[in-house]
Amino acid sequence: IDKAEDPEKMLKQVILDMENQLIQVKTQVAIAIADEHLLTKKQKENEAKISEWMRKAELAVDKSDDALARAALERADSCRQITHALDEQLVDQKTQVESLRGAYRKLEDKLTEARAKCDLLIAEHRRSRAVRKAAEAGMAIRSDQHSATFDRMRRKVHHGEAMSAATAELAAETVDERFDLMERDERINQLLEDLKARRSAGS
């Protein structure tokens, strides 16, 4: 997946698209069922008309009105033809309803499966991102830049320690020299006093 793309957003969009598709199929199923009910209603109404025209034809025959009976039978026959056409439409409609219901169930199963996979992939992506960030942090800590900084600071500390030691050593040498000079002056003074004493005794 491209770095610029957000996997979580993409996966959620896929689920959203499937949910919208499921809603559309569900709507089509509802429409198909409604059409089936409408055809069934028309079929029953037409069958009722057939019965009604047959009753009228029988009544006309009873009244010895063959022309009227014939007209009623023609109407009944027309209704039978309509009923036959409705029967065929109803069979086709029921097939369509079952097909749409099957498609809806399959899509619903796929959506359930997709949601589960989506949750797993999102969790995996988050773990991967956390591991990557931890690794990047570790690499940053171990990077040459930081190592160079630590080395430079260590050298400065060592240099500072060396300078302090040298300064202390120089200070110690200065004190020793002062004591040496003091002792030398005392020796010279003593020698001078001894020399004076000897000179006084000789004269």
> What pLDDT sits at residue 7?
80
pLDDT tens-digit readout, 23-79: 999 999 999 999 999 999 999 999 999 999 999 999 999 989 999 999 999 999 999
pLDDT tens-digit readout, 109-151: 998 998 888 888 888 888 888 888 887 776 665 555 556 666 7
Tell me, rounded to whole angstroms, the distance of Cα 88 from its chain centroid. 50
Q: Which residues contact 114 (CB under 8 A, 6 or more apart)?
A: 14, 15, 18
Predicted model pTM: 0.54
DSSP line for 28-85: HHHHHHHHHHHHHHHHHHHHHHHHHHHHHHHHHHHTT-HHHHHHHHHHHHHHHHHHHH
The Cα angle at residue 55 between residues 51 and 57, in degrees rounded to 5: 115
Q: By C-alpha distance, which of 135, 137, 129 is closest to 6? A: 129
Residue 163: band (very low, low, confident or very high) from pLDDT cuts 50, 70, 90? confident
Of all residues in the chain, what percent carry a pLDDT higher than 90? 44
Other Cβ atoms less than 10 A from the Cβ of 57: the count is: 20
